[in-house]
Copies of this chain bind each other. A is one copy, B any other.
Amino acid sequence: MITDPIEKIEIRPLYDLESGTWTYLLLEKTSKLSVLIDPVLERMERDLSHIQELGYKLSATIDTHMHADHITSAGVLGEKTNSEAFASEHSGAECASKFLKDEDLFSIGNLKFRVLHTPGHTPCSLSLLLNGKYLFSGDALFVRGCGRTDFQGGSADDLYKSITEKLFSLPDETIVLPGHDYKGFLSTTIGEEKKWNPRIAGKSLSEFKEIMDNLNLPEPKKIHEAVPANRACGKVS
């Protein structure tokens, strides 16, 4: 967990071993309100129990994009806890209660969010900067990697621009908490990724595109089920 006594907030990363997804539980210590970023349907009971044990109320869920590899628990959590479901204005998530757009600012107590539209993995992909210090980079920037761009309207051109122009303009010490990891890493910083990201550091757009064009990744098992289900906030019949 990352405890930040100055901001009176705490960040608890929760991992889904099946899809390699990092869900983030954000705790607002003054009001005892909490937020989940990218919650996974199959881990809903774990996440909800954990929030209840800690004595918090779930205020909102935020999906950084419409996932192809897992289904969000946003809708089911909304029914169970009355939490709001936040998603991008470009997400097509008709079920969302609030739509986020680039440079939106919103707060839940001491949790102060700035929305960054970072398309590339999908056209609707968002990153979220929390209290100016912590970047939830969704499937844009990973630890020594990045999201794939070969389906769902993905664009290597857009992703290169999102990472190099938007995310890399944040301070070097910004802590990056990605939407996925497959190698056992938890987090990184903007400064490190500028220097060490093997796909992007020192790479031109054309070099990046060549790397992305040659990843030869298998199609996510759940893509045909997950994308429509996520547009319905995971309220699958």
Q: Which residue numbers of A lie inside 8 Å of B, CB to CB? A: 1-3, 12-17, 43, 46, 50, 53-54, 175, 182-187, 192, 195-196
Chain B residues positioned under 8 Å from A15 (CB to CB): 15, 184-186
Given A192-B54, A196-B53, CB of A183 within 8 Å of CB of B1: no
Report the separation of the CA atoms of residues A137 and B22 in the bound assembly, to the nearest whole angstrom. 23
Report the separation of the CA atoms of residues A16 and B15 in the bound assembly, to the nearest whole angstrom. 13
Give the copy number.
2
Chain B residues positioned under 8 Å from A195 (CB to CB): 53
Report the separation of the CA atoms of residues A139 and B212 in the bound assembly, to the nearest whole angstrom. 40
Whether A53 and B192, one on each chain, are in contact in the complex, defined by CB atoms closer than 8 angstroms, is: yes
List 16 A-B residue pairs with CB atoms under 8 Å apart, sorted by A's residue number.
A1-B175, A1-B186, A2-B2, A12-B186, A14-B184, A14-B185, A14-B186, A15-B184, A15-B186, A16-B184, A43-B184, A50-B185, A53-B192, A53-B195, A53-B196, A54-B192
Chain B residues positioned under 8 Å from A53 (CB to CB): 192, 195-196
Chain B residues positioned under 8 Å from A187 (CB to CB): 1, 12
Given A1-B175, A175-B3, CB of A17 within 8 Å of CB of B184: yes
Whether B13 and A183, one on each chain, are in contact in the complex, defined by CB atoms closer than 8 angstroms, is: no
- Contact partner of A186 (CB less than 8 A), chosen from B43, B46, B186, B196, is B186
Chain B residues positioned under 8 Å from A175 (CB to CB): 1, 3
> Closest residue to A21 on the B side, CB-wise?
B184
13 more A-B contacts (CB under 8 A) besides A2-B2, A12-B186, A16-B184?
A: A1-B175, A1-B186, A1-B187, A2-B3, A12-B187, A14-B184, A14-B185, A17-B17, A17-B182, A46-B184, A50-B185, A53-B192, A53-B195
Report the separation of the CA atoms of residues A43 and B195 in the bound assembly, to the nearest whole angstrom. 22
